[in-house]
Structure 1
Amino acid sequence: MDVLIHLFVGLHIIGIAALLGGFLTQMKAMGRGTARFVPGMLHGALTMLVTGVVLVGLNEADHHSVDTIKIGVKLALLIVILGLVYVKRDEERVEKPLFALVGALTVANIFIAVLWT
């Protein structure tokens, strides 16, 4: 079971890398006001959602304790990110504050995962 959990943790990290990487590649465009949500950002967020749900299930099945408050906060942030990216995915330009919000929520989600013990 541990190998399976580690596999999904790796996939979860790949998802967050895709989301954050997509944001970082658009930073220069954000400065010009021409940033857009690239497909990799949506795919990364969806990967995070699916692997996160699987990880919670696997950890509970393996009788590990799961901090449901932490998972709930991370899920809420991810749902906001997913909603914003999904709704605005076809637009040529995304407003700077909206684009910056997705980046800030992504970074917040990372720090919650790492620092909340």
Structure 2
Amino acid sequence: MNVLIHVFVALHIIGIASLLGGFLTQMKAMGAGTARFVPAMLHGALTMLVTGVALVGLNQADGASVNNIKIGVKLLILIVILALVYVKRDEERVDKGAFAAVGALTAANIFIATLWT
């Protein structure tokens, strides 16, 4: 079970890397007002959702304690990110506010995951 949990943690990290990497590659375009949500951002957010839910289930099945409040906050943030990216994924240009919000929420999710113990 431990190996399976570590595999899902690795996949979760790949998902956050895809979401954050897509944001970072568009930062210069954000300054010019031509930023868009790339497919990697949507796929990364979906990967995070699926692997995060799987991790909670696997950890609970393994008998580990799970901080449900932390998981709930992270899930709420991820749902907002997914909604923004999904709704505006086909637009040629995304306004700076929505694009910056996705980047800020992604960073917040990373900090919550690492600093909230």
TM-score per shorter chain, which class? over 0.9
Aligned to 2:92: 92
* 2:6 alignment partner AA: H
Using the TM superposition, give the Cα deviation of residue 65 of structure 1 relative to its aligned residue in structure 2, in angstroms.
0.2
Q: What is the CA-CA distance between 1:27 and the residue it aligns to?
A: 0.2
Counterpart of 1:66 in structure 2 is 66
Partner of 1:28: 28
Q: Distance in 1 between matches of 2:16 and 2:102?
A: 12
Map residues 1-117 of structure 1 onto 2, 5 A cutoff. Answer: 1-117=1-117
- Deviation beyond 6 Å, 4+ runs, structure 1: none
- How many equivalent residue pairs? 117
Report the identity percentage. Answer: 82
**Structure 1 position 108, deviation (Å):** 0.1
TM-score normalised by L of structure 1: 1.00
Q: Mind listing any 5+ residue stretches in structure 2 that lack a counterpart?
A: none
Separation in 2, partners of 1:47, 1:64: 23
TM-score (norm 2): 1.00
One-letter identity of the residue aligned with 2:53: V
Query: 1:87 and 1:7 mapped to 2: Cα distance?
Result: 30
Deviation of residue 30 (structure 1)? 0.1
Stretches of structure 1 lacking an aligned partner (at least 5 in a row): none
